[in-house]
Amino acid sequence: MSSFSADSRPATRRPAPPAAERPGFAGFGAVVPPAQAIAISGLRKVYRGGAAAKPALDAVDLVIPRGSLYGLLGPNGAGKSTLINILAGLVLKTAGRVSIWGIDIDAAPRQARAAIGVVPQELNIDPFFTPREMLDMHAGFYGVPRGERKTDEILAAVGLADKANAYARTLSGGMRRRLLVAKALVHSPPVLVLDEPTAGVDVALRRQLWSHVRALSAAGTTILLTTHYLEEAEELCDHIAIIDRGKVVVAERTEDLLRRLDDKSLTITIAERLSALPETLQGFHLELVPHGGGPARLVFRYRPSRTARGDLRAELQASGLTILDLATEEADLQDIFLQLTGTQAAARGKP
Ligand code: ADP
Ligand code: MG
């Protein structure tokens, strides 16, 4: 069991292995690709010196299907970066198994690392190199032979072709982020991992980054990204896992998760005092809530995907009741988040 031994030292960043030890860049495409781009089971991380034995990750099981655009959603401190950094080989796990593209990270750490490109949360870019030089250097680190480098293609893919020879310090924040994505792509990894790609960026840039991520996904790259923005996960990702205090609380296809949101209520306040529902309204599963001596309220719960409210409105009008107020309430991802985690956590709002 030595390969799963507890060790909380952060792993040092190592240069890429020599070409002979690499799994081969064409190789990722050549072999039968695995169904699971990333498979994680029983993953645990306790940082040395971290809050007394409080794990940053605890019993995490997660499968990222090949070809998916997977969102890992959770509040600050949930453990998202820890998980990403374990995949990247930058943090050593305490226990559990992780495989990337079918390669166990303990059995073959170099090969596993060669299968992913990681875009870190921080913008760590050397300002004195041009994007072209930077990608070239990075490809060298990974041992990609000159003839196999796709520098221009990658720069074009992230919309930086015209900045290939500009000094990085002259690039805007958005361009720097895209340059980091480009850097993560130099060794043509089948899996791309982005840690909070749009944290703190404005709406226009966020949209732009999303469209680049979507294009990479459409081109066949499996993408795992972390975010603490509900909208980002909802709009961009086909799968969402919610992580909170080191535990995965839900992991589902986005459409399945959103189906849980298919629950609305409409509260109608009427001027009349009613002791029973008028007959014409009895087919609507309305709940009558008498309100002291004041106006009564009718609460109508329905599934927007199945029930139209138009009919009810028409019947209400026909019944001659005087509608004082209509209020709708709908569940959203924030409610689900609250239900599952008990915390008001992930951010809703503009990055
Ligand atoms: P997220 O990326 O979701 O915000 P992190 O993975 O960065 O969460 O952090 C998860 C938990 O682990 C937090 O409680 C954080 O304080 C702790 N943590 C992260 N990095 C370290 C470290 N190097 N040493 C000790 N504790 C850490
Ligand atoms: Mg983080």
Task: Report d(CA 239, CA 65) in Å as an integer.
Answer: 9
Question: Cα(13) to centroid of ligand 1, in Å?
Answer: 18
CATH fold of 264-330, please? Alpha-Beta Plaits (3.30.70)
Residue from 48, 81, 343 to probe ligand 1 pocket by mutation (most atoms less than 8 Å from CB): 81
The two tokens of residue 82 are: 């820890």
The full set of domain ranges for the chain reads 264-330
CB 74 near ligand 1, within 6 Å: yes
pLDDT-derived band at 252 (thresholds 50, 70, 90) equals very high
- For residue 290, give the amino acid letter: P
Q: Helix %, strand %, coil % for the chain, to 5?
A: 35, 25, 40
Strand order across the 264-270 sheet: 286-289, 296-302, 264-270, 323-330
Which residue has the CA at smallest separation from atom 22 of ligand 1?
47
Which residue has the CA at smallest separation from atom 19 of ligand 1?
82
**Tens-digit pLDDT profile for residues 77-116:** 999 999 999 999 999 999 999 999 999 999 999 999 999 9
Question: Cα(266) to centroid of ligand 1, in Å?
Answer: 42
Task: Report d(CA 259, CA 96) in Å as an integer.
Answer: 32
**Tens-digit pLDDT profile for residues 49-61:** 755 668 999 999 9
Taking each helix axis as running N to C, give the angle between helix 203-218 and helix 173-185, from 0 to 180 degrees, rounded to the nearest 10. 20
Question: Cα(82) to centroid of ligand 1, in Å?
Answer: 6
Beta bridge partners of 326: 268
Question: Across the chain, what does the average pLDDT equal?
Answer: 82
